[in-house]
Amino acid sequence: MADISLKPLIPILDELAPKGRTALLPALQAAQKIYGYVPEQVAAIIANRLHVPLADVHGVLEFYALLYRAPVGKTIIHVCADPVCAMAGSDAILKQTSRTFELHGKQKDKTLTVTVERSPCLGLCEHAPALLVQSSPLVQPETYTLRDLVTGKGKKPRSIVGGDISILTENCRKGQITWLEDYKIQGGYQALHKALQMKPQEVIEEVKASGLVGRGGAAFPTGLKWESAAQSAAQPKYVVCNADEAEPGTFKDRVLMENDPHRILEGILIAAYAIGSTYGYMYIRGEYEYQYQVMSQAVDEAKKAGLIGTNILQSDFNFELELRQGAGAYICGEETALFESIEGKRGFPRVKPPFPTTAGLFGKPTVINNVETLANIPYIIHKGATEYRKIGTEKSPGPKLFCVSGDVVKPGLYEVPFGVTFRHLLFDLAGGIRNNRSMKAALFGGAAGAFATEKELDVRLTFEDLRAAGLPLGSGVITVFDETRDMRDVLLRLAHFFAEESCGKCYPCQIGTQRQYEILQRVANSSTLPGDLERLQDIGWTMTDTSLCGLGQTAASAILSAIRLWPELFKKH
């Protein structure tokens, strides 16, 4: 450690230092790229240059799972152990890679030092079992040796996209990235051009008229959000694209980013124009390194083409966009936690109100939208709200992306109009259940969701129908389990996920996710104690009713739904 050279870090810090604390995560990430981890003296220099207290730097380092303050292996392998990948055998891979690592360790083969970590969902569910080797996704890892993996061999995943319509996924089925030239040939950035001819309020009216609601899970009307931020008096205003996709089972934003980056950028630019923002951020989950690279290149293209910067398309509209990478924290998908993270802090969610449209990023009016939400915008502006509303149902207009994975014949991303039935999605599009089995359950909405059974096959996939059926649409996740699956193991993994990802701020979630996990360990081991079912319910209701943010409020959702459906699972076997 004594022979650490600070030379390569200095120019980076020279560039970042004027930004102050907001540059803390980028500085730590840059340091880690150089040194493999963040040595103490490096952390101290970063603290000094960015004017962040030492203890606060420590707090940030400790919060994010992808930041290390002690040396780790030269190669880091993340193996997903959440339900979809577990069903595809990720436990065996985790065990095998871990064991091989030990063998190499004994041989002191330093070139092969490997750190293997159990990871939360990597957003590669259609390719399960998935793993990341030095941030690069690999599929079918079971067919490679550890040496292959470490030396960069292995099959890279390609998007699997289908569906009834292709409005959002038009460019996601080609097997290649749609760069600026192609995007423009297909009419790309015409919506931005059109928006710039309109008054900002007219753009907002069009989005309101479209009936678009947020696709990240909360389903808040997008136009109202924009209007609220536009009407806020404070300056400056920010647009933030939430690309911190991490809900287990969700991979839609990953597919959009890695295939069609400009559609998202166009959506961000139109949002910025509508609310009067000249600076924005796109916060991409840390595990999506490849998608970050694609978005970075797209931003560079857009800057060169005069689409980002000053006098965009010869108008008086100016806008700069900064890409940020997360560092391994599911909670940062919560909008206020994401702001904290951009501000260089631990990703603790804030109390609301105030809401982001009045006091968001840096305390200023902020519109924060999900990737898929923003991908809808170019179509809405280009074709108009009336045309947009022809897709979907009266109350749920537009196209919707569904991430279907688990025990289906064709896992993948499916674009459908709102209103098709679950049966259609599952059987006509995803090919039905694997191995001619029947379905035991489908988890709607991810870890924070609820289970559906065969009884719900004919439910229409709309906000209104799903609400009536007691199922969340969430971020459009449907994870399918066949009749042979042990649901106790599924629940254990969901509980593990929340115990790992709770930020620890409010008591009910901080302690409740841990206690819930402990009881589900007993359930999975058939060693339940008398009263465990009631304990689970008390924890679940308390977390739901009193937690500070959406994570805690939904951390028991799937488990409570399983208790209603299969109470026998929670009795001693």
Binding site residues, other proteins, CB under 8 A: 40, 43-44, 53-59, 62-63, 69, 329, 346, 351, 499-508, 510-515, 518, 522, 529, 535, 538-539, 541-542, 544-548, 553
Structure tokens that stand for 336 in this block: 């206020």
Q: Which is nearer to other proteins, 4 or 54 (CB)?
A: 54
Q: Is 235 helix (H, G, I), strand (E, B) or coil?
A: coil
CB of 511 to other proteins, least distance (A): 4
Q: Which residue is listed with tokens 């199922």?
A: 471
Taking the C-alpha atoms of residue 478 and residue 425, their distance in angstroms, rounded to an integer, is 10
Side-chain-side CA neighbours of residue 198 (13 Å): 22
Nearer to other proteins, 175 or 530 (CB): 530
Q: Which residue has the tokens 């909405």?
A: 445
Of residues 457 and 533, the one with the C-beta less far from other proteins = 533
User: From CA 193, how far away is CA 204, in angstroms rounded?
Assistant: 15
Provide the minimum distance between the beta carbon of 328 and other proteins in the complex, in angstroms, as a whole number. 10
CB 189 to other proteins: min, Å = 40
Task: Report the nearest approach of other proteins to the CB of residue 345 (Å).
Answer: 10
For the bound state, the minimum distance from the C-beta of residue 353 to other proteins, rounded and expressed in Å, comes to 9
**Rounded-to-integer distance, Cα 168 and Cα 222, Å:** 17
Neighbours of 290 (CB within 10 A): 17
Sheet architecture: strand order including 320-325: 320-325, 279-284, 238-243, 366-370
Measured from the CB atom, the residue of 375 and 539 that comes closer to other proteins is 539
Beta bridge partners of 406: 480
Q: Which alpha helices (DSSP H) does 260-370 contain, by range? A: 261-275, 289-304, 335-342
156 vs 572, beta carbon nearer other proteins: 572
SS3 478: strand
Query: Is residue 116 helix, strand or coil?
Result: strand
Q: What is the C-alpha separation between 139 and 59, in angstroms, rounded?
A: 34
In the complex with other proteins, which residue's Cβ is closer, 225 or 346?
A: 346
Nearer to other proteins, 407 or 501 (CB): 501
Q: How far is the CB of 508 from other proteins (least distance, A)?
A: 5
Closest contact distance (angstroms) between CB of 534 and other proteins is 10
Q: Closer CB to other proteins, residue 127 or residue 346?
A: 346
Residue 77 β-bridge partners: 116, 133
Minimum distance, C-beta of residue 525 to other proteins, in the bound complex (Å): 11
Contact indicator for 156, 149 with CB cutoff of 8 Å = no
Token pair 């996709």: residue: 245
The dihedral sign for the CA sequence 418, 421, 425, 426:
positive
Considering only CA atoms, which of 537, 411, 437, 333 is closest in space to residue 139?
Answer: 411
* Phi then psi dihedrals of residue 475, to 5 deg: -95, 15
Residue 394 CB burial class (10 angstroms; 0-12, 13-18, ≥19): exposed
Shortest distance, CB of residue 513 to other proteins, whole angstroms? Answer: 7
Per DSSP, the three-state class of 137 is strand
Shortest spacing between CB 397 and other proteins, in angstroms: 25
Nearer to other proteins, 397 or 508 (CB): 508
Please say which residue, 349 or 432, places its beta carbon nearer to other proteins: 349
Decide whether 486 or 538 has the Cβ nearer to other proteins: 538
Shortest spacing between CB 499 and other proteins, in angstroms: 6
CB 286 within 8 A of CB 328: yes
Closest CA to 447 of 31, 123, 34: 123
